[in-house]
Amino acid sequence: MFCSAYSFGPKLKTFWLIIATIMLNGIYGTALAGEHRPVFSPSGNELIFMAQSSETAGDWELYLMTIDGRNLRRLTNHAGWDGYAVWSPDGNSIVFDQADAGEGQRKAPMLLDIKTGLSRSLGNFEGWLSVNDWHDEKLLAFWENEGQRDLFLIDKAGVVIQRLTETPDQSEHDAHFSPDGSKVVFASGPSEGNGDTTLEMINLMNGERSVLKSSSGRIYGLDWAPDGQSVAYTDSPDGEDDDADVFVFRLNTRETLQCTDNDAWDHMPVWSADGTSILFTSYRTGTEHMYLAKCGQKPMRLWSGHPD
C-alpha cells in the first residue's frame, strides 16, 4: 500500500484515465526488454527513461514519450551505455551519462538538445562526473575519482563553480536541489561500499551539513518533492541483501513513511511535477519496468510497449 499521507484532487482524474489507457493498449511496434530511471519533464507532460532491447543491441539507450503513451522516440544511438537523464529547467535539453562499450572506456556527461537531437560533451573530467540535478544556471553533480565521490556545482559549459563535499573515506552521490535551490539533499556512505549509509542535507547559504536519516542498508535514488517538504528515496533498511523499497522522509516532522512493500526491488523514485505521485522502477514482473503510485492505491505500471 502506498503511503496515505498524500491525496489526489479531481484534476488528476483525466491523468489517471490516460495512464489506464497506456496500461491497456501499449505502444505497438516497439518492444523494450527493460526500463530504468524514468524522469518527468518540468511540465509533467513527457518523460525520459532508459531502455534496452534488441533494437538497441542490448545497450541501454534513452527514450522519450508523452505521458499518454504516445510519441515514443529514441533519443540516443551509441555503442555503449546512455542513461540517467536530467532535464534542463526549461525542458529544452537534458544532461545524461554516456559510457563507451568495453571495460575501462570513457564515461562522461553529455548535453543533448531535445528538438534537434544534437549532443556534445559537458566539460572534460578525469574519472566520472555524473550530473544529478539542474537548477537555474547551476548543475549539481558527483565526481568520482579513484573510488571517491564528492559533490560539485558546475555550469552549462562544464566548468566547476564550487566543491560542496570533501569527506575522506566517504562518498556522496544522488544529490538533488530543494525547489528553491537553497539546499541540497544527498546520499553518503563509506567509499569501500560497506557500513551504514545516510540521507543528508547541505544548506548552500551557510554550508551547514546535517544527517536526516541513517540506514544499515543502502540509501540511494533520491528526489525532492516540488513543495519542498518531503524527500523520496530508496532504502534496504534491513541490510544490503534486503530487497529495496521506496520511502518518503518528511522534513518538517522527520517522519519516515514506507511507500512500497514488495519482495522485488522498487527503486529510483521521482516525483510528478505536481508532487502528488511517485514514478519508480521495479522488478516485480521479473524484468525492470516503470510504475506510478498514487496515495492509498496499488502502483500502476506505465506501458512502453514491452509485451509481458
What would the pLDDT profile of 84-122 be if each residue is shown by its tens digit?
A: 999 999 999 999 999 988 776 788 999 999 999 999 999
pLDDT over threshold 60, residue 307: no
d(CA 69, CA 25): 9
Task: Band the pLDDT of 5: cuts 50, 70, 90.
Answer: very low
d(CA 276, CA 240): 29
* Cα-Cα-Cα-Cα dihedral sign, residues 147, 268, 179, 43: positive
Q: Bigger pLDDT: 20 or 159? A: 159
DSSP 164: -
- For residue 238, the model assigns a pLDDT of 81
How far the first Cα of the chain sits from its last, in Å, is 23
DSSP 17: H
Residue 216 to residues 27, 97, 150, 186, 277, Cα–Cα distance (Å)? 41, 28, 21, 16, 27
CA dihedral 255, 260, 263, 266 (to 10 degrees): -100
User: Which of 24-38, 148-162, 182-196 has the least mean pLDDT?
Assistant: 24-38
- For residue 31, the model assigns a pLDDT of 55
Comparing CA positions, the residue from 300, 294, 292, 297 lying closest to residue 49 is 292
- For residue 25, the model assigns a pLDDT of 38
Which helix (H) or strand (E) segment is 266 a member of?
Answer: strand 266-271
- For residue 32, the model assigns a pLDDT of 64
pLDDT digits (tens, 9 = 90+) for 185-239: 999 999 877 778 999 999 999 999 999 999 999 999 999 999 999 999 999 988 7
Residue 215 · residue 197 · CB < 8 Å: yes
